[in-house]
Amino acid sequence: MSPEAAIHIAKGIALLGMVSTALGQGYLIGKALEAMGRNPEMEASLFSKMIIGVAMTETTAIFAFVGFFLIG
């Protein structure tokens, strides 16, 4: 395998990390909104926890994004 091919494969894996993070965030937000719909009086508590969860999940995408540009 040539070095250029290995670089392209590594960049594809980094992109996969970003895509899976986006899917995870969508699932997280969807479930939080579903919980808010079932129990509206807990909305403030659920919303703050949802924001913290999304921020923690976003760090994975940021690491993958930085790794994408550091490769090659």
Backbone angles phi, psi at 2, to 5 degrees: -80, 155
What global pTM score does this model have? 0.78
Let me know: does 53 contact 28? Beta carbons within 8 Å.
yes
pLDDT in tens, 12-56: 999 999 999 999 999 999 999 999 999 999 999 999 999 999 999
Q: What is the pLDDT of residues 58-67, one digit of tens each?
A: 999 999 999 9
Length of the chain: 72
Distance, CA of 18 to CA of 33 (rounded, Å): 23
Give the count of alpha carbons within 13 A of 6, CB side only. 4
Q: Which residues contact 47 (CB under 8 A, 6 or more apart)?
A: 32, 36
As a whole number of Å, the end-to-end CA separation of the chain is 15
pLDDT at 72: 74
Q: What is the pLDDT of residue 62?
A: 94
